[in-house]
A = this chain, B = another copy of it.
Amino acid sequence: MRAGQPVTIRDVAQRAGVSSATVSLVLNNVADSRVSAATAERVRAAASELAYAPNLVARGLRRRRTNTIAVLSDEIATTPFASRMIGAIQDVAMRNGLLVFMVNTAGDPETERSAVVAFNQQQVDGFVYACLYHRVVDLPPGLGSNVVVLDGRTRRPRFPAVVPDDRGGARAAVTELLAHGHRRIGFVNDYSATVAADLRLKGYRDALREHGVRFDKRAVRNAEPGLEPSAEAAVRLHEDAGVTALFCFNDRVAIGAYHGLRRHGLAVPRDVSVVGFDDQEFVADYADPPLTTVALPHYAMGQWAAEELIERINGGTDQPRVCEMPCELVRRGSVGPPRADGT
User: Which A positions have Cβ atoms within 8 angstroms of B?
Assistant: 53-58, 60-61, 66, 68, 77-81, 83-84, 86-87, 90, 94, 99-104, 111, 117-123, 227, 252, 255, 258-259, 262, 280-283, 286, 288
Contacts and interface: CB of A to CB of B under 8 A. Distances in A.
A104 B87 contact: yes
B99 A100 contact: no
8 contacts: A53-B117, A55-B61, A57-B57, A86-B102, A99-B101, A100-B101, A100-B103, A101-B101
Contact of A61 (B61, B83, B121, B282): B61
Given A90-B78, A227-B286, A55 B100 contact: no
A117 B99 CA distance: 12
A270 B286 CA distance: 22
Nearest to A88: B78
A163 B322 CA distance: 44
A121 B58 CA distance: 10
Contacts of A78: 83-84, 86-87, 90
Nearest to A59: B121
Contact of A282 (B53, B101, B280): B280
A203 to B, nearest CB: 24
Given A78-B90, A80-B282, 11 more contacts: A55-B123, A56-B123, A57-B57, A57-B61, A57-B66, A61-B61, A80-B81, A94-B103, A101-B101, A101-B102, A252-B286
A117 B87 CA distance: 20
Given A78-B83, A78-B86, A83-B78, A118 B103 contact: no
A286 B34 CA distance: 67
A170 to B, nearest CB: 22
B121 A55 contact: yes
A122 B56 CA distance: 5
A262 B258 CA distance: 14
Contacts of A61: 55, 57-58, 61
Nearest to A289: B259
Contact of A102 (B56, B100, B111, B121): B100
A120 B55 CA distance: 8
Contacts of A80: 80-81, 83, 281-282
A90 B118 contact: no
Nearest to A102: B102
Contacts of A57: 57, 60-61, 66, 122-123
Contacts of A227: 286
A286 B101 contact: no
A101 B94 CA distance: 12
A57 B61 CA distance: 6
